[in-house]
Structure 1
Amino acid sequence: MKNLLLTGLIIIICSCSNGDFEESGVEQSSKEALHKQSLNPENGADSEKNFKEVAAGNFILLVPAQISGRVILVLQEKRGGKDFQSSEKSLSDTDTISSYQEPVAALHVIVDQSALTSPLKIDVKGYIADLGNLRSASYETVDEFIIQYEISKRQDSTLLEAEKETILNISSISEAVLFSEKSRKDRDWETSTTSKHTGY
């Protein structure tokens, strides 16, 4: 009987110690990572692992790390090339939009915070909506749609070079966000698929 009580007491002590370990600083240091993973409905899938926070107006956007520089470039243009702060507000003070969970909403924020004029913003948002409707189409169809849109903007003599550059950047961002599993070989204006297609 004494052995049974002693064994029970040892088990209880070990359980308490294990609980203390779980509340240690190791777990505290990983709280932010766990919070970000919880944003993903698949809880930690690769799609949200490498996301970066980018401040855009009254929002914090979670965008894939590989396109965060391009997003910042578009947002910088509105600020006249001033140094861009990657975080202007704390997450508790503003709304967060994940481009993984709400791709169209995130893209609309980027367009709204760009230096484009209002008519161009409407045009680009229409392009994003049309591109989003092609998510079930073949990549050949998607590529052709993107190429034709970029050609039309590149050849539009009413647009300034800076406007064309912004539109191409948003087009590339949109492709990367809406078709995250698709790989576009290069996204530079001068060497883009559009340039190769038109011979420029």
Structure 2
Amino acid sequence: MKNLLLLLVVLASLLVSCTSESIDNAKILDDGLIENKSKKTAKLLQTLSPENPANEYDIAGKIHNDILDVYLSGNYTFNTIARISQKVDSISVLNNDLLNMATSLPCNFQEIQETVDDPQIKLEQAIANSSMTNAAKISLSNFMDSILLWETDEYAIIHQSIISFEASVISNAQFSNEDKRIILTTSSIVRYSLYYAKERKDKDWETSVGNRVGAVQGAVANSSTAINKSIVTGLIIQNLQTE
């Protein structure tokens, strides 16, 4: 009888030991999975950037953010289109990447003011009066409308949506080189500008329709003009919103 009780005690001890070990192993496994998931998430956040090497006009967006960063870091209090434009120009001449581009056209203050007052009308006019084919005009117009729906999403989702759009433009055999230049310059600036607002969480910069319209208006001429008009229009709208 004593031997039987001793045997039962030993078996019970082994059962408890195995169960505890199983729980411990399961906990270690769960902790390991959580840790790996956290590392992957952290790595994703570290590698997230606004770039799209497939877009040959990607540099336009990068320069846009570089110039914007210098301007906002200066905490300037200019509140007129003329003064903002003058300061942006003085920053631009120090940007080596921009110097390699075609010269930006002089800033049209009246057009910028009209864009601030009614961005949607000016967007429609800019697209309609451009040299793009009708198919490209429709594509760019749809893209600009889509941004209004995408901009509330996380940037990773926005980035992928814009890259998918750019891929469709790049592969479209019906679009002329001029069509692609205008559309891809605009989309690059939009992609980088949204990154600046969302990922940097910079309270001094919020993208607006006017900012994007400026990019379209300028892109019709060249990339440097697109960068300039987008920044100046965005800054004057930002100033009006914070007054």
TM over 0.5: no
The structure, 1 or 2, with the larger RCO (C-alpha pairs under 8 Å, 6+ apart) is 2
More helix by share: 2
More strand by share: 1
- Interval of TM-score (by shorter of Structure 1 and Structure 2): 0.3 to 0.5
Taking structure 1 as the reference length, the TM-score comes to 0.42
Taking structure 2 as the reference length, the TM-score comes to 0.35
User: Larger Cα Rg: Structure 1 or Structure 2?
Assistant: 2
